[in-house]
Structure 1
Amino acid sequence: MADDSSVELTASEGCLVARVSGELDYVSRPVLMDRLRLLIARGSRFIVLDLSNVASCDSAGLNVLLLARLQADKRGARLVVACVPPQLRRMLEMTGADQVLSAYDTVAEAEAALCRIDRPEIRG
């Protein structure tokens, strides 16, 4: 069985951005979970998963995203998703996963939201 998923990393504005590509499914689950565990172990405080190149996602793929968020939480990191394809966004909404996995339309919006968390406004 071929692994049709990949994770490419870039750092930007205090966030670690991981572009996830390919299939998020039962076949790619073990490799993808290992890659995301390594990503989270890097110790970044903010992680954005760019899902713009995800071709499809089944329940196993959704489980990977939710487990990654849980692992990030345990390490004191914040993990969010961005550029979620329409079919995956519907899956997040139908399952209620959108209540625990914050989704943004763009990576820039996700980074801006995380930067607001990092630098709250000073009120006088």
Structure 2
Amino acid sequence: MTAEPSVQATDTSGTSLIMQLSGDMDYETAPFFRERLLDEMAGGQRRLVLDLTAVSFCDSAGLNVLLWAWRQADQAGTVLVLACVPPKVQRMLNMTGADTLVTVYGTVAEAGDELVADGGV
């Protein structure tokens, strides 16, 4: 049984949109995450932080969702980064080389500070 997926978005005073993903990211929940992320990305925010603190499981379908979101953001001229990546997900990012595409920060605060300091990246 998979943990119930959710995406909670928080706008940080117009500087970044933080989206906390939670639950299992797998083949069953991938369509939900794609739809929710696309809905949030349609708002036109130029800086997005995906907070993965509450992601309890992530398989290749979940990784595919993260890479898909990064591509969608990149094509729209939006910066998308990851924060608070659980060790098992970080290992998957490292093993696949995805960490060379998507920037990963230890905390949401680090990600937000860096995005603002760099003017977007």
TM-score higher than 0.5 = yes
Measured after TM superposition, the shift of residue 35 of structure 1 is 0.5
Moved over 4 A (4+): none
Which whole-Å deviations, capped at 9, do the CAs of 1:23-42 have from their partners, x for residues lacking one? 00000000110101111111
TM, length-normalised to structure 2: 0.94
Query: Contact 2:10–2:19 (CA<8 Å) still a contact in 1?
Result: yes
TM-score normalised by structure 1 residue count: 0.91
Counterpart amino acid of 1:9? A
2:3 and 2:34 map into 1 onto residues whose CA distance is 12
Structure 2 residue ranges without an equivalent (≥5): none
Rg bigger for which structure?
A: 1
Deviations 1:11-70 (A, max 9, x none): 115000000000000000001101011111110000000000000000000000000000
Where in structure 2 are the equivalents of 1:97-116 lying within 5 Å? Answer: 97-116=98-117
Counterpart code for 2:68: L
- Determine the structure 2 residue equivalent to 1:5: 5
Identical amino acids, percent of aligned pairs: 47
Seen in structure 2, the aligned counterparts of structure 1 residues 112 and 55 have a Cα distance that, compared at 3 Å, is: same
Q: Which blocks of at least 5 consecutive residues in structure 1 are unaligned?
A: none
CA RMSD of aligned residues (A): 1.8
What count of residue pairs does the alignment treat as equivalent?
120
